[in-house]
A and B are shown apart, each in its own frame.
Chain A
Amino acid sequence: MKLNDDERAMADGRDGPAVQRAMNLLMRYGEALGAERLVDTNNVCGTVSATTPFMRDFALQKGGMDAVFSEFNLDSDDVVEIPPAKTFTSHLQLGFDPDNAELMGISDEVVKFYRKGEGYIAGHGIQLMNTCTPYQVGNIPTRGEHCAWMESSAVVYCNSVLGARTNTEGRESTGAASLTGKIPYWGYHVPQNRLGTHLIELDVEVTSTSDWGLLGYFIGEQVQDRVPVVRGLTAVPNLPRLKHFGAAAASSGGVEMYHLVGTTPEALTVEQAFGGNRVLETLHYGEAERRRAYEQLNHTADDHDVDYVMLGCPHYTIEQIWEAARLLQGRKVHANSALWIFTPRAIKALADRNGYTRIIEDAGGVLLTDSCSAMSRAAPKGTKVVALDSAKQAHYLPAILGIQAWYGSTAECIDAACTGRWSGRYA
């Protein structure tokens, strides 16, 4: 791999041992990919937290959070002192909500260790966004901006909706990028790799947020990790719809980049979306495909008594919290059920001021931050059946927690929380 003078100096130790370790990892990683060079980035989203017992013990035995960062964020052979981040770096979601640790079954000891780690993270200039949706709370990359992001639902949003450029990075590569401002120039950083491969023709209208989840789930399964181009939209989708759509496609397949003709920034026309690419396959999304996606998402469920309703995957927007609050107003969560809603901390602060948190709590629900049930493996005690308005969560949660999952609209989920029964149906 070719390094410029600045990169060579970092690799030779000019900026200290941690930056040297970071460059060493980026070179090994770039060579593994077959990349020819690195590219500058000033936008990193990663994770530094140590919320599992293993990580906590590792830190206690090997030398604190510097040891965790050296091993798991730099793949370094030795423990080095970690300087503050060089680039703008945002922290993604993590293992629990420290403000609701008891509810999530987390011990005081783990919370105490986490609080220390939080001080370390903030002290190193890493933004405590603690969300899978950094693009909701102050990190909105510009079209064409080179980024180094983890979190598949954020990566697909960053590439497709914002037109910024990132691959699906990992814990170690984002750690190295945060200290160097470099990432391999490969994959979706390269313009020709962003062009469409598959054409998806819509034969049915796709309007509601739930509809967008079904479409995403279908497309991901069909195209896996290729680049779908969707034609035939009748309405412009908003942020919650595209957040849900991308997360679904990234779960059933591994889509990191898509185009919506006439809507997303690199697809004003079909011709622009495909560039010089030949269309590998044209797929139709009609009533049969829509119904199949719905049935796949509900295949683990047959018990209609719902113990638990989880909303906020990916983390809810303020608009979605508003909707949930309106649906809940004047109602109560059923004695046999529970309602947890996850959102970024910054949006929870707004929900607090708007009075939505109060409405949710008065009804018996909880507004949480920083995590979700899939990340934390936490659900109310004894949960056997969950209701979800997220295709991504419905894809993962039955395997992670060994429970049944119903998938439907937000209104159907709130109804399930208030009645303790699932009465959603394919519509």
Chain B
Amino acid sequence: MNTIADQVLVATLHGRKVVGGIAEGEALVTDAHISGWGGIDSRTGTIVEMRHPLRGQSFAGKVLVFPGAKGSSGWSNAFHLTRSMGVAPAAMLFNEMTTKIALGAVVTRAPALTDFDQDPLAVIRTGDWVRVDADAGTVEVIRRAEPPPGAG
């Protein structure tokens, strides 16, 4: 069983607020851009784009860490619908600012940050626990401690 002592704060990132608010959740990290319309299923929050590394995985309730948006101008609407369906990400952390992602993040209403002091794609791993305080501009990355050598 995990105890607090097993959890280690491995990094704190600082970024610029895109959408304010505080949230935490498990990280879902991809180094591939995400398409909205035609790339996600808004009813389930699942990535459906052919050949996308996260194809078949849902971002519902997770902290989505990705380089940025691509594809159709229906991006914001596709993410807006995830909020309507209750399957929006808990927070969004990304590197490349575009109109698609800015509007998409705003209407998804999930806390969002960009312009980081460290690359979140390099620092955060899928499965990490991530605390996002977009108002303060901070992201805390918490990871289960590696067992000591010989343990287990």
Q: Which residue numbers of A lie inside 8 Å of B, CB to CB?
A: 25, 28-29, 32-34, 54, 58, 71-72, 75, 150-152, 155, 167-173, 184, 186-187, 224-225, 254, 374, 396, 398-400
Choose among B19, B76, B102 the residue that contacts A171 (Cβ–Cβ < 8 A): B76
Check A169 against B99 for contact (C-beta < 8 Å): yes
Is B123's beta carbon under 8 Å from chain A? no
Quick check: is B56 within 8 A (CB to CB) of the other chain?
no
Q: Complex Cα distance A150/B105, Å?
A: 17
* A168-B99, A399-B38 known; A254+B73 contact, CB < 8 A: no
B: which residues have CB within 8 A of A?
Answer: 16, 18-19, 38, 49-50, 70-77, 80-81, 84, 97-100, 102-107, 112
- Please determine whether A171 and B106 come into contact, CB atoms closer than 8 angstroms: no
B19 close to A32 (CB less than 8 A): yes
Contact residues in B for A167 (Cβ distance below 8 Å): 99
Contact, CB under 8 Å: B103 / A173:
yes
Partner of B50, one of A25, A34, A399: A399
* Structural contact, A72 and B97, CB atoms closer than 8 A: no
Of the candidates A34, A186, A396, the one whose C-beta lies within 8 Å of that of B16 is: A34
CA–CA, A95 and B19, complex, Å? 31
Asked, given contacts A254-B71, A396-B38, A399-B49, whether A29 binds B102 with beta carbons under 8 Å apart, the answer is yes
Bound: A75/B81 CA distance, A = 11
Chain B residues closer than 8 Å to A29, beta-carbon distance: 102-103, 106
Nearest CB of B to A145, in Å: 18
Give 11 new A-B contacts, CB below 8 A, not counting A25-B106, A150-B74: A33-B99, A58-B84, A72-B77, A168-B99, A170-B74, A170-B99, A172-B103, A187-B99, A254-B70, A399-B38, A400-B38
Bound-state Cα–Cα, A399 to B51, Å: 10
> Please, how many angstroms separate the alpha-carbon atoms of A25 and B76 in the complex?
13
Chain A residues with CB under 8 A of B76? 170-173
- A186: chain B residues at CB < 8 Å are 99
Q: Please, which residues of chain B bring their CB within 8 A of the CB of A75?
A: 80, 106-107
> Which residues of A have CB within 8 Å of B104?
170
Q: Tell which of A58, A167, A398 has the most Cβ of chain B within 10 Å.
A: A167
CA distance A424 to B107 in the complex (A): 45
B16 touches A170 (CB 8 A): no
- Which residue of the partner chain, among A32, A54, A152, A374, contacts B103 with CB atoms under 8 Å? A32
> What are 23 pairs between A and B in contact, CB < 8 Å?
A25-B106, A29-B102, A29-B106, A33-B97, A71-B84, A75-B106, A75-B107, A151-B73, A152-B71, A152-B73, A155-B73, A167-B99, A169-B99, A170-B73, A170-B75, A170-B76, A170-B77, A170-B103, A171-B74, A172-B106, A173-B99, A187-B99, A254-B70
A327 to chain B, nearest CB (A): 31
CA distance A396 to B100 in the complex (A): 19
Rounded to whole Å, the gap between the CB of A41 and the closest CB of chain B is 14
Please, which residues of chain B bring their CB within 8 A of the CB of A54? 81
Which residues from A are CB-within-8-Å of B99? 33, 167-170, 173, 184, 186-187
CB distance from A283 to the nearest CB of B (A): 20
